[in-house]
A and B are shown apart, each in its own frame.
Chain A
Amino acid sequence: MKRHPTSRFNVIASPYAVWAALFIIAPLIFVVYYSFTDAAGAFTTENVSALSKYLPTFLRSIWFGIVATLICLVIAYPTAYLISQKTENIQRTMVLLVMLPMWMSFLIRTYSWMAILEDENGIINGFLANLGLPRVHMINTSFAVILGMVYNFLPYMIMPIYSVMAKLDRSMVEAAQDLGGSRLTVIRRCIIPMSMPGVVSGITMVFVPSVSTFYISQKLGGGAFDLIGDVIERQFQQSYNYNLGAALSLVLMVLILISMAVMNRFTGDEEGMAI
């Protein structure tokens, strides 16, 4: 008597199902509920319609997220490729090095970037001044914020790409070489299309936290401009306006979901993935 595979799956997955219901689905319901009610609990669309006020902030966050994601991709892809070409021992060490900064708290790492980028006591500017070069104003600019995003989220781009590349079918690459493909052609027609799933999940894992971050922009941007995460955080922490905060988060979530869905749709067809 064969047991139905899905029923066994259900049993195994039940801990996570409970977890998801408690900590993912239930909070989402709260977010939706708060978005469409006012402080007294009555139905209103005021919060959602107040969003036009925050449109510039949304645009800024999305643009910063895109830039940070692209920079991460440009840095991470070759890195992941090079790591995957090494022997297993070296690979392990290099992966460890990539992960190493993540052993430290995200907050502390971001805070220490302040010390690196500062004008007077900053390490970079101190170095420049010692060489007799002019100081560069870096802290509290959008450059610093994007740098912070790239620095903090780069491992999230490298890891998924690397793990896909490490499992690439070497025989495919060899076959391409046997058929006379140049080095570039092999990469273009073979390695890139096959590593696309890693790229997609890397983009998701960098873009989503970049768009919604608030700590980085507060510390490295000096609060000179808001990202949407700052506005949301302020509604919950300072203004005690859960309704507006929830509405903003809801819109952010919907935007991210849409962009992820679109991206998955167009990278999903394996045919013609070559650039």
Chain B
Amino acid sequence: MKKICSLLLAMVLACLPCATALAAPDQSEIDALRGTKLYVYNWGEYISDGVDDTLDVNKAFTEKYGIEVVYDTYDNNEVMYSKLKGGGVSYDVVIPSDYMIERMIAEDMLEKINFDNIPNYKYIPEKYRNLPYDPDNEYSIPYTVSYVGLIYNTDMVDEAPDSWTALWDTDYENRILMFNNPRDAFAIAQSVLGMDYNMESPVAWKVAAELLMDQKNVSPVYVNDEVFNKMEGGEAAYAPYYVGDYLTMHDNNEALAFVYPKEGVNYFVDAACILKGTKNKRAAELYLDFLNEPDVALANAEYICYGSPHSEVYTNPDYTYYQNALLYPEEGAFKTQLFTNLSPETLQLMSTLWDDVKNYIPTAGSGTHDFFFGEVNSGSTEQTDGKKLTPEARKYAICIGVFLLLCLAYVIFRYARKKYRESI
């Protein structure tokens, strides 16, 4: 018993110096944050959450600092942006993608980070610093880095594709998935056309939109997160998606394979930022620093399956995706482009063109077959520019018209009968 006591005492004594060493001069400042709340807004499924004995990052943060983490998620950058812009919410930490960070910096939505408070920033190597969206690296700390690529199902596709044009292959009608967000969808068309993702020329955007309309001939299914179910379940042959998510899907369906198309792909960085107007900036910085603790970063990288910009993670031989050729490809192995923020005019044009793409129903070729309403294609190929109705719209107009006429006829009939009865 005495032995144990002295052992404990020795341990406590041994720990004391390091405890004081760890306690930075602002320890009291950190202690003062106990009991406060930190509002974090992140992508869905984008943090290690304690499932299957993984590290629960938010819980660990609360245990360490006594700061409660209020955690919400979003599906995509635009949703996040609209929600923040729309007001009524206030978050402290947010993890947008590169081009969205640029936009948020331009619109003065982000708070400069005090990097003195982020000692773990030392783990982020030079190549992930000062990226174009945040050239002086004042606002963001990279969280994940990854690529878009083409997932295909080897049970359905005999020959490995090497080009985005596989998504236009009419042999796979109804079996092709497509991004349901304009930026990613346009990037694929722009790759095929050899265009810059960040071009500002309206004509070029229209050409890309026409290519996307052309894709409607294979009846692509526009998906977000449903891609997981559909690819894992073998519902579709091709899907463009993020490489990290491919790794997750591959775990559930061995028949899936992945390729970086030769036309080039989107390279993206999601980075943690602090929002302007934060009421708890010091806690937010603690959180950002905590995300870059080597074991936390490793847990996140293992959970999310995206590439990690953290040097202690990707050089760790115990890391599941250590030197994974897909997640950490050699530099220059294929063409990549980053998104940058587009001008408001181009953004407006892109969303208008995207509406056109989504509304477009092809009038030539095999087109959509539809056993409820029969074949919807016939006649000319003019587009939905509002001046002339497409055959499909004309069909609906006629249907509605006939229906209204029937209603009117019935009303007149009743009125006439009423008059007749009154006259008797």
A residues adjacent to B (C-beta < 8 A): 52-57, 59-60, 62-63, 66, 114, 118-121, 136-137, 140-143, 146, 218-219, 222-226, 230-231, 234-242, 266, 271-272
Contact = CB atoms under 8 A, between A and B. Distances in A.
A254 to B, nearest CB: 16
28 contacts: A52-B386, A54-B386, A55-B386, A55-B393, A59-B393, A60-B393, A63-B396, A118-B230, A118-B233, A119-B174, A120-B233, A137-B174, A137-B369, A141-B372, A142-B372, A218-B180, A223-B221, A224-B219, A226-B355, A231-B355, A231-B359, A234-B358, A238-B182, A238-B351, A239-B348, A239-B354, A240-B85, A272-B414
Contacts of A238: 76, 78-79, 82, 181-182, 351, 354
A148 to B, nearest CB: 12
Interface stretch (B35-43, B198-206, B274-282, B397-405): B397-405
A216 to B, nearest CB: 14
Nearest to A56: B393
Contact of A56 (B216, B230, B369, B389): B389
Interface in B334-352: 347-348, 351
Interface of B: 76, 78-79, 81-82, 85-86, 174, 180-182, 216, 219-223, 226, 229-230, 233-235, 347-348, 351, 354-355, 358-359, 361, 368-373, 384-387, 389-390, 392-393, 396-397, 399-400, 403, 411, 414, 417-418, 421
Identify which of B348, B355, B390 gathers the most chain A CB atoms within 10 Å of its CB.
B355
Contacts of B79: 237-238
A133 B225 CA distance: 31
B221 A224 contact: yes
A66 B411 CA distance: 18
A241 B351 contact: yes
B182 A143 contact: no
A208 to B, nearest CB: 16
A225 B222 contact: no
Nearest to A145: B372
B400 to A, nearest CB: 5
Contacts of A271: 418
B393 A272 contact: no
A238 B77 CA distance: 8
Contact of A114 (B182, B220, B229): B229
Contacts of A56: 359, 384, 389-390, 392-393, 396
